[in-house]
Structure 1
Amino acid sequence: MTPAVETETRRTPRPRADALRNRERIVSAAREMLVEFGADVPLDDIARRAGVGNATLYRHFPDRSGLVREVVISVMSRTCDRVDQAVAEEEDPFAAVRRFVHAAADERIGALCPMLAGGFDQDHPDLHAGRERLEESVLGLIERAQSAGRMRTDVAVGDLMVALSQLTRPLPGIGCLGIDRYVHRHLQLFLDGLEAPARSELPGKAATMEDLRTTQ
């Protein structure tokens, strides 16, 4: 190892295992509390649920926007993993779609969507990479089901993501944790409408993710 490399290594030490565990606990606690109480939940409460001191939370996340961004990226990553698992374990391509939709609901995607609306860096590289990976994963899932003739072809990835966001978003004044049985019930009704052969002709055109970005 050259002296230059040795110097650079000393300048950028790897995080300790306990620091990584603390960061994971903070992100997990933030995900739960942001869903339950919204984007304005006190950071001190998040630290308390994570079982760490306030100083530890602020050392990892000096501001709220950084923590919210990390939660959103974490949820997107976990959701992508659910797509991969569904594709690997389900022989029926539409069964993989169904499994993904219910798994994404468990990740509370709909509850997290409003956090992206204001005071948030939409062009952050990590956020962009996570969003791109998620879109590609879901697109592949849909194309696989459509190619097999198991999913109607007049819908696109944007249609699926809009419906998933709306159907999993908590109603005003209703706690998230108590309505799971309704969320999954309504998602199943939606999924029945996606399965081929189609029972009706849809008005308008299929929504792509690009369509959604240009209407924001």
Structure 2
Amino acid sequence: MTTVSAKPAGQRLRADAERNRARIITAAREAIVEHGAEAPLDEIARRAGVGNATLYRNFSDRRELLHHVTLSVLTRVLEHAEAGLAEPDAFEGLSRFTHAAADERIGALCPMVSDHIDHDDPELERALLQLKAAAAELIARVHASGQLRADIGVGDYFLGVTQLTRPLPGTGCLDLDQFVHRHLQVFLDGLRAPATSVLPGRAASFEDLKRAD
């Protein structure tokens, strides 16, 4: 008779620790969307279903936690961009990425963590550069297909997505999330070629979206 060995205790502990860490990052992301970057750490631990000691064992302070939340979001959004690039139809790939990025709440998270992370951190810089490159490729691909109006730049696109997915201030606006994908579709329809209007000014680039020092 074959005996199935139990998983070693060390492996079980590592798996439990990884699950706890992932739950904390997910809970922090949700709390930041609702309450901002100063969301109480006690509340984040409660949402994650762990004790405060477990939270601090994984993340020494708020800054470290926000760092990993930001990395997690950038990584997931990059995966969505790569999935969009794999779509045979270029505009469908852009649409898929747009709606998926909205579900990651990039519009809500970007401004909330912008003052609480180290923008010179090489790990974050690398993740952001990868995402920018994938997004630029998405836009270039749709331009090349002739489906995107010629006066739209990658900065225009990202500015539109972040504005449409950013929660409005005030508790009376909390239920507007249900309309985000509807309005994003209107936005995407407006990006299609041929253009039905002339846009004022010039196309925005990533450089235009940089934080002011």
State the TM-score, normalized to the length of structure 2: 0.88
Contact 1:146–1:153 under 8 Å retained in 2:
yes
Q: Determine the C-alpha separation between the residues in 1 that align with 2:172 and 2:73.
A: 20
Distance 1:34 1:119 in 2: 12
Q: 1:130 to 1:211 in 2, by over 3 A?
A: same
Cα deviation code 1:72-106 (max 9, x no counterpart): 11111111111112222x32100111111111111
Residue 123 of structure 1: how far off its partner (Å)? 1.1
Match 1:77 to one of 75, 78, 84: 75
CA contact (8 A) 1:68 1:115 kept: no
Give every structure 1 segment of 4 or more consecutive aligned residues whose post-TM-superposition deviation is greater than 6 Å.
none
1:100 equivalent to 2:97? Answer yes
Report if aligned partners of 1:28, 1:50 keep a CA contact under 8 Å in 2: yes
RMSD of Structure 2 on Structure 1 (CA):
1.8
Report the Cα offset of residue 119 of structure 1: 3.6
C-alpha contact 1:146 1:152 (8 A) present in aligned 2: yes
Q: Percent of aligned pairs with the same residue? A: 55
Whether the aligned pair in 2 keeps the contact of 1:36 and 1:176 (CA below 8 Å) is no
Correspondence for 1:58 = 56
Shift of 1:133: 1.1
2: CA distance between counterparts of 1:212 and 1:135?
12
Name stretches of at least 5 consecutive residues in structure 1 with no aligned partner: 1-14
1:14-36 deviation line (CA, Å, top 9, x unaligned) = x9222222111110111111112
Change (3 A) 1:71 1:126: same
In 2, Cα distance between equivalents of 1:81 and 1:72: 14
Q: Distance in 1 between matches of 2:88 and 2:174?
A: 31
Aligned match of 1:117:
114
Is 1:169 matched up with 2:178? no
- What is the alpha-carbon distance in structure 2 between the residues aligned to residue 134 and residue 22 of structure 1? 27
Distance in structure 2 (CA, Å) of the matches to 1:214 and 1:33: 24
Aligned to 1:12: none
Does 1:159 find its partner at 2:156? yes
| Cα pair 2:147 2:193 within 8 Å, conserved | yes
Number of aligned residue pairs: give it: 201
Q: Report the Cα offset of residue 175 of structure 1.
A: 7.0
Which residue number in structure 2 is paired with residue 201 of structure 1?
198
The structure-2 alpha-carbon separation of the partners of 1:60 and 1:176, relative to structure 1 and needing over 3 Å to count, comes to: farther
Which deviations, in whole Å up to 9, do the C-alpha atoms of 1:24-71 show, x marking residues without a partner? 111011111111221111111111111111111111111111111211
Contact 1:158 1:209 in 2 (8 A): yes
State the distance in 2 between where 1:71 and 1:28 align: 8
- Taking structure 1 as the reference length, the TM-score comes to 0.87
* 1:16 alignment counterpart: 14
Does 1:27 find its partner at 2:25? yes
1:133 matches 2:119: no
Return the alpha-carbon distance in structure 1 between the equivalents of residues 92 and 55 of structure 2.
40
CA distance in structure 1 between the aligned counterparts of 2:67 and 2:211, rounded to whole angstroms: 22
Q: Give yes or no for contact 2:66–2:116 (8 Å, CA) kept in 1.
A: no
The residue number in structure 2 matching 1:6 is: none
